[in-house]
Structure 1
Amino acid sequence: MAYLEITLRVDPANRPAAASVYEKYKQPFLDSIAGATSKELLIREEDVQVLHGFQSVADANAYLDSPLFTKDVVGELAPLLQADPDVRVYDTV
C-alpha cells in the first residue's frame, strides 16, 4: 500500500472551487488510474490536502505522470493555488 499526499495552499475564498475540482475528478481517478484505492479531501485552516491511496509506490508515481493529473487536475487547480503544491509519496510497511 502507498499514499500520495498533495498539500495545497488555497485562499479560503477559493476553497469551494478547489473542492469542486476534487469532486469532479474523484470518481474518474478511482475508475481509471491503475492501483488507485481511495481519495480523500482533508481541510485544515492553513491548507487543503488530498490523500490518495494506491496499491504501490509505482502506481502513485505513474498517476503523477498521467494526463488526468498533469492536464486535468493541475490545469484546473493551478489558478487557485497560492504556492506550488507539496507532493509526497509514502510507502507502508
Structure 2
Amino acid sequence: MAYLQITLKIAASKRAAAAGVYRQYKTPFLETIAGAKSKELLVREADVQVLHGFDSVEHAQAYLESALFTTDVVGALGPLLDDVPEVRVYEAV
C-alpha cells in the first residue's frame, strides 16, 4: 500500500468550494486511475489534506502526471489555493 498526501493551504471561506472539487473528482479517481484504492479529505484548522491510497508507489506517482490530476483537479483547485501545495508519497511497510 502507498499513500499520496497533498496538503493545501486554503482559506476557511474557500473550503466549501474545495470540498466540492474533492467530491467532483473522487469517483473518477477511484474508477479510472490505475491502482487507486481510497481518497479521503482531511480538514484541519491550519490546512486541508487529501489522502489518496494506492496499491503501489509507482501508481501514486503516475497519478501526479495524469490528466485527471494535472488538468482537472489542479485546474479546479488553483484559484482556491493560498500557497503551493505540499505533495508527499509514502509507502506502508
TM-score, normalising length from structure 2? Answer: 1.00
Q: Where in structure 2 are the equivalents of 1:41-56 lying within 5 Å?
A: 41-56=41-56
Q: 1:71: how far off? A: 0.0
RMSD: 0.2
Q: Which runs of 5+ in 1 are unaligned?
A: none
Which position in structure 2 is the counterpart of 1:20?
20
State the AA in 2 paired with 1:67: A
1:79 aligns with 2:79: yes
Cα displacement string for residues 40-73 of structure 1 (whole angstroms, at most 9, x for unaligned residues): 0000000000000000000000000000000000
State the distance in 2 between where 1:30 and 1:92 align: 19
State the AA in 2 paired with 1:75: G
Which position in structure 2 is the counterpart of 1:35?
35
State the AA in 2 paired with 1:78: G
Which position in structure 1 is the counterpart of 2:69?
69
May I ask how many residue pairs the two structures share in their alignment? 93
Cα displacement string for residues 12-57 of structure 1 (whole angstroms, at most 9, x for unaligned residues): 0000000000000000000000000000000000000000000000
State the distance in 2 between where 1:51 and 1:85 align: 13
State the distance in 1 between where 2:57 and 2:14 align: 31
TM-score, normalising length from structure 1? Answer: 1.00
Which position in structure 2 is the counterpart of 1:91?
91
